[in-house]
């Protein structure tokens, strides 16, 4: 498939064939040998062939496009909704990718992905969007007996309210405004919004908001499958607001029957909430123990100050 993408690249950009063949060897062969992640690919491209690096922006292709090209090249394809459950098998012998891809953004596909605990994400290559279903090699998981609340949060968590599903679109808008489209491209947002507004049985797609008076100061979007809540993406608009929102949410989940909190990709800041990194065997074992009944968030506003007493 790598050579097919190279042909598309040659046709689209009509550039020097030999430069691109050399570039192809670097990207499609060398990268696979040393097993770079998509994030490391950026650094690799910058430090490798500077002539190619200069050529790419002139031809309308940036580093994000190259990352997308790499992910699409090494990720198995999902041909139907029935193949979602086969993602672990599809990726069992694929060292280069944590993703399976499809161009289907239907709510049914997204719901099925979430129902297995997979992360629905998206990428864009030129004018096309693709759903990239992430099956993490490692996940950051908070089990509530080890939930930790930063001390600074207790000092600032006054006169604030936590709500659920009060303004899904405003949360999306803030995420986009701060981080750009990133992986939350419009087709994925539309699918998530349809699940958020509709009546689903396997999962619930939600927004979480933190308010100070009438001002939204932090929030996130995520989904519930069984009695597990998964955070997808969030934002904060004031110092410490993100910490307060996550701490209040963690305490709410702990007090209301949730089994654990899935924070997705391991990042250092997640450790301060008590998160530990689990491999596929570990987090799948945890997920398999959860009951099938779907928990739901309340419609009432919650005064969070009592959480921190």
pLDDT in tens, 154-209: 888 889 999 999 999 999 999 999 999 999 999 999 999 999 999 878 999 999 99
Q: Is the pLDDT of residue 281 over 70?
A: yes
pLDDT in tens, 80-91: 999 999 999 999
φ, ψ for residue 91 (rounded to 5)? -100, 0
CB atoms within 10 A of CB 54: 9
Q: Give the bridge partners for 260, in sequence order.
A: 143, 228
Mean pLDDT for the chain?
Answer: 85
Report the pLDDT value the prediction gives residue 188, as an integer from 0 to 100. 99
CB contact at 8 A, 301 and 163: yes
pTM: 0.82
**Average pLDDT of the residues in 287-298:** 96
Cα 185-122-125 angle, rounded to 5 deg = 85
Report the pLDDT value the prediction gives residue 90, as an integer from 0 to 100. 95
Q: Is the pLDDT of residue 226 over 90?
A: yes
pLDDT in tens, 206-225: 999 999 999 999 999 999 99
**CA-CA-CA-CA torsion sign (187, 192, 195, 198):** negative
More confident residue, 185 or 71: 185
Report the pLDDT value the prediction gives residue 240, as an integer from 0 to 100. 92
- Percent of the chain scored above 90 by pLDDT? 67
Report the pLDDT value the prediction gives residue 69, as an integer from 0 to 100. 78
Nearest Cα to Cα of residue 39 among 169, 182, 155: 182
CB contact at 8 A, 272 and 148: yes
Report the pLDDT value the prediction gives residue 272, as an integer from 0 to 100. 95
Topology (CATH) of 138-307: Aminopeptidase (3.40.630)
Under the banding of pLDDT at 50, 70 and 90, the label for residue 260 is very high
Q: How far apart, in Å, are the Cα atoms of 175 and each of 51, 92, 236, 300?
A: 35, 33, 9, 24
Lowest pLDDT segment from 57-61, 79-83, 106-110, 284-288: 57-61
**CB burial class (10 A; 0-12, 13-18, 19+) of residue 276?**
middle
Report the pLDDT value the prediction gives residue 71, as an integer from 0 to 100. 83
The whole-angstrom separation of Cα 85 and Cα 79 is 12
φ, ψ for residue 121 (rounded to 5)? -135, 180
Report the pLDDT value the prediction gives residue 22, as an integer from 0 to 100. 42
Report the pLDDT value the prediction gives residue 139, as an integer from 0 to 100. 98
Helix then strand then coil, in percent of the chain rounded to 5, is 50, 20, 30
Under the banding of pLDDT at 50, 70 and 90, the label for residue 63 is low
Three-class SS state of 228: strand
Report the pLDDT value the prediction gives residue 12, as an integer from 0 to 100. 44
Report the pLDDT value the prediction gives residue 41, as an integer from 0 to 100. 52
More confident residue, 94 or 291: 291
Domain ranges of the chain: 7-60, 81-134, 138-307
pLDDT in tens, 6-50: 434 444 444 443 343 344 444 444 444 444 454 555 555 555 544
Report the pLDDT value the prediction gives residue 31, as an integer from 0 to 100. 42
Report the pLDDT value the prediction gives residue 157, as an integer from 0 to 100. 87
């Amino acid at each position: 498939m790598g050579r097919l993408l190279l042909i598309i690249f040659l046709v689209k950009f009509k550039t020097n064939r030999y430069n691109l063949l050399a570039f192809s060897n670097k990207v499609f062969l060398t990268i696979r040998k040393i097993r770079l992640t998509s994030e490391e690919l950026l650094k690799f491209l910058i430090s490798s062939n500077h002539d190619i690096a200069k050529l790419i922006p002139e031809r309308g292709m940036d580093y994000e496009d190259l990352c997308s090209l790499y992910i699409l090249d090494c990720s198995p394809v999902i041909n139907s909704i029935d193949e979602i459950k086969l993602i672990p098998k599809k990726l069992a012998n694929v060292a280069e990718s944590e993703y399976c891809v499809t161009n289907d953004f239907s709510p049914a596909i997204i719901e099925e992905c979430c129902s297995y605990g997979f992360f629905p994400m998206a990428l864009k290559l030129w004018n096309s969007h693709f759903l990239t279903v992430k099956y993490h090699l490692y996940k950051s998981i908070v089990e509530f007996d080890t939930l930790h609340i930063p001390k600074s949060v207790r000092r600032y968590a006054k006169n604030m309210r936590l709500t659920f599903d009060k303004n899904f679109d405003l949360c999306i808008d803030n995420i986009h405004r701060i981080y750009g489209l990133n992986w939350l491209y419009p087709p994925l947002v539309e699918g998530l919004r349809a699940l958020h507004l509709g009546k689903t049985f396997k999962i619930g797609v939600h927004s979480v908001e933190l308010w100070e008076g009438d001002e939204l100061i932090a929030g996130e979007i995520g989904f519930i499958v069984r009695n597990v809540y998964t955070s997808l993406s969030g934002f904060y608009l004031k110092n410490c607001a993100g910490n307060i929102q996550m701490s209040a949410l963690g305490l709410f989940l702990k007090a209301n029957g949730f089994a654990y909190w899935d924070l997705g990709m391991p990042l250092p800041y997640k450790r301060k909430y008590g998160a530990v990194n689990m491999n596929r065997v570990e987090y799948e074992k945890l997920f398999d123990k959860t009951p099938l009944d779907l928990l739901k968030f309340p419609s009432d506003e919650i005064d969070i100050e009592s959480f921190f007493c």
